[in-house]
């Protein structure tokens, strides 16, 4: 059966064509670095411009959320949405514990732009999550 290509032949071609996978410890360290400091994972992979753009955009978005007195959610709430908001804000990395360390206890809910500030804080965390996943894909050589 010279003309037929089986599924086993296709799988063998894919394994030959795909480059070796990086060690798991390297991937974990890379993703942890990308999560803690936005853009650091891309910097370590060699994508300098993308790292600078991600660092600037996530940091500015987080700073604007703080300036607009966005609310910091907690896990002790009875509302599932507030718990999800807490994890969304936590995804921004070291910026959230640093903000709490320097005395930011959460915004004033009666401040005019407080809702927008909260949205900026959560969006910064979600953008950082996407950046971590992008860094993982680059390290796995699934993305050029």
Check if the beta carbon of residue 68 is closer than 8 Å to that of residue 77. no
Domain span at residue 117 reads: 23-139
**Is 39 domain-assigned?**
yes
**Is 11 domain-assigned?**
no
- Confidence (pTM): 0.80
- 8-47 residue pLDDT tens: 666 555 555 456 788 889 999 999 999 999 999 999 999 9
Q: pLDDT class for 108, splitting at 50, 70, 90? A: confident
**Is 118 domain-assigned?**
yes
- 47-101 residue pLDDT tens: 999 999 999 999 999 999 999 998 888 777 788 888 888 888 889 999 988 988 9
Structural domain count, the chain: 1
**Is 65 domain-assigned?**
yes
**Is 16 domain-assigned?**
no
CB-based contacts of 132: which residues, under 8 Å, 6+ apart?
A: 31, 34, 35, 41
**Is 123 domain-assigned?**
yes
């Amino acid at each position: 059966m010279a003309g037929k290509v089986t599924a086993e032949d296709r799988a063998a071609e894919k394994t030959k064509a795909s480059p070796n996978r990086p060690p798991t410890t390297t991937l974990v360290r890379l993703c942890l670095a990308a999560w803690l400091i936005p853009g650091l994972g891309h910097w370590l992979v060699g994508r300098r411009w993308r790292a600078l753009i991600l660092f600037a955009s996530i940091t500015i978005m987080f700073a604007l959320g703080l300036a607009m007195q966005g609310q910091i959610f907690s896990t002790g709430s009875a509302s599932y949405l507030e718990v999800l908001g807490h994890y969304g804000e936590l995804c921004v990395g070291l910026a959230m514990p640093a903000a709490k360390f320097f005395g930011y206890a959460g915004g004033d809910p009666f401040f005019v732009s407080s809702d927008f500030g909260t949205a900026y804080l959560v969006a910064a965390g979600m953008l950082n999550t996407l950046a971590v996943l992008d860094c993982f894909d680059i390290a796995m050589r699934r993305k050029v």
